[in-house]
Amino acid sequence: MTSLVLPAIWLGKLLSILLRLAGRNATSLPGKMALRLSPKLLSVLGAKLDRCVVVTGTNGKTTTSSLLAGILNADEPIIHNREGANLPQGLTTAVLQHTTWFGTLRRKTALFEIDEATLPLVTRHLPVKVLVVTNVFRDQLDRYGELDTTVTKLLEGIRQTDAVLVVNGDDPLAKHIALHSGLRYRTYGLSTHHAEITHHDQMRDGAFCMQCGHELTYSGFFYGQLGLYHCPECGFSRTTPDFAGTYNGHTIAIDEDELPQVEFVLPSRGLYNVYNTLAAISAARLCGMNANGIAVGLAAYEAPLGRMQGFQTTPPSTLNLIKNPTGCDTVLQAILSEPGQKAVCIAINDLAADGKDVSWLWDAGFEQLTQSPDIRVCITTGLRAEDMALRLKYAGYPTDKILTAADLDAGLQLAFEQAESLGELDLYVLSTYTALYPTAAWLEKKVTLDAKTPLYRTSVS
């Protein structure tokens, strides 16, 4: 241990204590200052781990890692960057929380959610044994660039490890990464009978084979570019997944190699959450977890911030993060699949963490809202509220049902007023990153206020 490692640990832990006493967020700054004092601190502490599991990909990282954390915690306490701070300073902060003042780790397994752009910066510091790639979609263009840039970054980070990859075999881009990683890999995916033959107008990334450049053909789709793909030029194609999932309402059955089929209760609704659950179960199996341990972990799952997160407000509300076209489409589909009439509030910001380029709104399928009679009103709010209102207008949504309030608090208040006045509609709030935490805090405050009135609902069905 170098001479500055212990002082760096002390500095980081002391900062964490002071920040928490001040009621401040302590997810990154302690690690940042500790690394400034001892730049190799993450490598030094990482070397003391028995194993590290990493979850990366465009969509589903947070939910998948939260599901997997519950499963692994059923076996042993783990280190986890639950708040999603995934730069080196955030990971260092997470490790410091479970490090003694003398540099001993109290927990020997770490699970980290890491985004695509960050992966090359951190994997060389960690003993990564299992690495999950959830999917690869076009994301914030001003941060990630186009798809080939994202794939390159993922491969760069993956090749710094000797991990076993767990990749979404239904995604041709994730499968391409596995084939070119030079590592052992296992695939997960849905059973073929879940694929839809009809080609929707939904925008699809990765339409061309990354092996040879020829256009891929599909015999069925799950969502986005996920489906039963085949390249007629070079033969690159989807193969039967090593972990195949069959879902039926609230359960998912897993077929793994020659083992008996095992069924689990799905902890969250929506097709994209079926994939997240399947990814977590597959990774857990490679970590040595048995079916009972997996079931216990899934039962303990609590939805992370903004992932179909329900609030017991009056009327009831649900918060969802949106950040790219495919993710937004799957959220819209999940909302429309819920019974009853609804009000929708969409909060769009364009700060650095959101992506300053909001042109992705035009690639997302907001036409779905127009096609459903259950969507009674849409409220747009945030820094780009007018842009979102314009997008809804061009999607064909009735302009007399589009209300706009740029101020977030005012927009949320307007959304609740509309939901109540139109007959206790369920309210669904869709938000980009920087509006997510303030929105969640506002909704939590409303839960507290509503609890003091006789209208408060103790349960949401």
Q: Which amino acid is at 179?
A: L
- Take residue 188 and report the two structure tokens written for it: 């997960």
Q: Is the dihedral of CA 142, 147, 152, 158 positive or negative?
A: positive
Q: Is 52 annotated as a binding residue?
A: no
Question: Could you tell me the two tokens for 223?
Answer: 């969502």
| 378 labeled part of a ligand binding site | no
Is 409 catalytic? The answer is no
> Catalytic: which of 142, 357, 407, 409?
357
Residue 287 labelled as part of a binding site:
no
Residues whose CB is less than 8 angstroms from the CB of residue 425 and which lie 6 or more positions away in sequence, other chains included: 315, 340, 341, 342, 343, 376, 377, 418, 419
Tokens of 64: 């998948």
Q: Which parts are annotated binding residues?
A: 209, 212, 231, 234
Tell me which residues are annotated as active site: 357
Q: Which parts are annotated binding residues for Zn(2+)?
A: 209, 212, 231, 234
